[in-house]
């Protein structure tokens, strides 16, 4: 079973993934955790984003 994300939905996914990575990098967690979360989002695109949304670190909001 092959899942391809192309066209409009591919662009939407890319935008959300970039937003997630930026949010992870701006959070206060350790560097190791930032790398682990970023890899999770990149290696498991849809599932990684869902897990990050539910349990991942958030950027600081001032």
Question: What domain range includes position 38?
Answer: 27-62
Domain membership flag for residue 32: yes
Whether the per-residue pLDDT at 5 is higher than 70: the answer is no
Q: What is the pLDDT of residue 13?
A: 85
Residue environment code for 2-41, b if the CB has 16+ CB neighbours within 10 A, otherwise e: eeeeeeeeeeeeeebbeebbebbeebeeeeeebeebbebb
Q: Is the Cβ–Cβ distance between 45 and 13 less than 8 Å?
A: yes
- Count of domains observed in the chain: 1
Q: In whole angstroms, how far apart are CA 42 and each of 8, 38, 49, 62?
A: 19, 6, 9, 27
17 in a domain, yes or no? Answer: no
- Tens of pLDDT, residue by residue over 6-39, are 788 888 888 999 999 999 999 999 999 999 999 9
**37-48 residue pLDDT tens:** 999 999 998 898
Q: Which of 58, 12, 20 is nearest to 40 (CA)?
A: 20
With respect to residue 48, please indicate whether it lies within any of the assigned structural domains: yes
Q: Check whether 61 has a pLDDT greater than 60.
A: no
Is 9 inside a domain boundary? no
The structure's pTM equals: 0.76
């Amino acid at each position: 079973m092959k899942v391809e994300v192309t066209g409009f939905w591919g662009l939407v996914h890319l935008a959300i993934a970039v937003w997630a990575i930026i949010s992870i990098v701006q959070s206060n967690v350790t560097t190791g955790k930032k790398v682990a979360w970023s890899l999770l989002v990149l290696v498991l695109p849809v599932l990684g984003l869902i897990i990050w949304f539910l349990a991942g670190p958030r950027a600081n909001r001032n």
